[in-house]
Amino acid sequence: MSANHSLPAPVVIGMAERVRLVFGHDGVATITLCHPPLNIYDLDMRDGLIEAITAVRDVPDVRCVVLAADGKHFSAGADLSEFGTADSIFDARRIRWDRDPWLPLVNLPVPTLCALHGYALGSGLEMSLLCDLRIASEDSVMGLPETKLGMLPAAGGTQSLTAAIGPVAALPLVLSGVNIDAAEAHRLGIVCEVVPTDDLESRTVELAGQLARIDQPVARALRRCQRAANDLPLSDGLAVERRWAHLVAAGEIQAP
C-alpha cells in the first residue's frame, strides 16, 4: 500500500478474543478492547494488543491510532485471578513483562488518542497514559490502586503519570491509590477534554480525524519535540526543537 493513499474501506481484524482492530478509510486505526463489562487486562488481551499495535505499525497508510473499549468501562485493570496461577503476584507480573505491549505503543510513529469511559484503573489508566492525548466521558473514574495491593503501578504508571502532570500532582495519586473523577482528571491535566458520555464516540471520531489530517512529517517532529520537553534539560530541548524545525523546513523528514 502506498503511503500517499488511504485505505479504500474500513477493514476489521480480530486480535485473539480480547482486541479488535479497525483500519478506517480516513487513515485512522482503532484498537478496541472487547472483553466487557470490565475489559480486564489479562494475558490474552496483552497478546491481542501486541498483535494489533504491530499490525498498525506496519501499515503506512495509518495516520492516527485510537485506543478505545467496548462496554460500560474502558478497563478496570489487571486480571488478579491470573496472579493465583503463579507463585506470587510478583511472579505473575514478571510473566506479563516477558511480552510487553507498552513500548510498542509508545513507539508508534503516528499520533495516538485514547477515549476513556467508566472505570480506567491500574493498567487500564496506564495504557492510556502512554498515548499522546486522552479524552474522557463524564462518567469516567481513574486511579492507580496497585499501592493498596503492595505493588508498584509498573505498566508505566510511575513514569507516564509523572510525565503527564508532574511529580507534585502525580505522587499523591500513586501513593494513596485514590480514585478520581473525570473533572478532577481534567483539572490535573490527565485528560485534555471531558465530554458527555453519549458524545464520547462522536468526539473521538472528530478529534482523530483532526490528528490524521496533520502533515505526517510535522506530526512526527512535534511529538519528538514534545517528548524532549520531558526527557531533557531546557537548553537541550530547545536544541532538539531547532533541529527538528530545520528538518521540517528542509523537507528532510520522511513520513512513517
Buried b (16+ CB within 10 A) or exposed e, 87-119: eebeebbeebeeeebbebbbebbbbbbbbbbbb
Residue at 55: amino acid letter: A
Which residues are registered as beta bridge partners of 133? 113
Q: What are the residues whose beta carbons fall under 8 Å from the beta carbon of 12, sequence distance 6 or more? A: 20, 21, 22
Interatomic CA distance for residues 122 and 42, integer angstroms: 12
Q: Which of 51, 82, 146, 201 is catalytic?
A: 146
Q: What are the residues whose beta carbons fall under 8 Å from the beta carbon of 240, sequence distance 6 or more? A: 224, 225, 228, 232
Q: Which of 126, 138, 184, 201 is catalytic?
A: 126
Interatomic CA distance for residues 117 and 55, integer angstroms: 25
The set of cell numbers assigned to 77 is 485493570
Q: How many residues does the chain have?
A: 256
146 catalytic residue (yes or no): yes
241 catalytic residue (yes or no): no
Which residues are registered as beta bridge partners of 128? none
Q: Which positions are annotated as active-site residues?
A: 126, 146
